[in-house]
Structure 1
Amino acid sequence: MADTAHQQAMHPASDSIELLVLRDPDGPLEIHLLIDGVPCTATEFIVDSGAGWTPDEWAQKRDTDLSMASDAARTILLQWYDCPPGSQYVTDM
């Protein structure tokens, strides 16, 4: 079976979206986005308020993310940044 025919058999609906994430606990994430099996460029926004952030660093990351986000993504990010899980670990937040 050809690759395309195999993909259609596995994913009969069009607009199949796959998000692959490889997490290195001591390094960056590797993220791949595929639409209908075709790799696409994506802008990643990771809201992770774990230990090690200062309030100034956190505010700078938030502002940078919001400046790059689409209107739809900005709406979600504003909610996430308002009170993210783990925010108690941001020093003096």
Structure 2
Amino acid sequence: MACRRRRTRRPPSPRPRPRARGACRTTEPGRTAGHGARTTRPRLRHSVRAIVLDPDDRVLLGRHRTGDGVVRAAPGGGVEPGETPARALRREQLAP
């Protein structure tokens, strides 16, 4: 019979675990994600939207052109630093 070696537990590795296949590999701006492509974190921003209904309960949507095509969205926009969401919505609704 062959002699079996007893397995010992290794201490945890200081390296991060590999990500699942297809997982997002974002890094800080200017750093590479291991395969040479430069990636950055998305710039997220707080925003407000209004649901505007007419007497027939139809919803008002705005039409915006983007690089990928046309997008329809409820009226609204971004919240500036130090601004309350209610004030931002009021400003966006009164804008020409």
TM-score relative to the length of structure 1: 0.28
Higher helix share goes to which structure?
1
Larger Rg over CA atoms: 2
TM-score relative to the length of structure 2: 0.27
Give the structure, 1 or 2, with the largest relative contact order (CA under 8 Å, sep 6 or more).
1
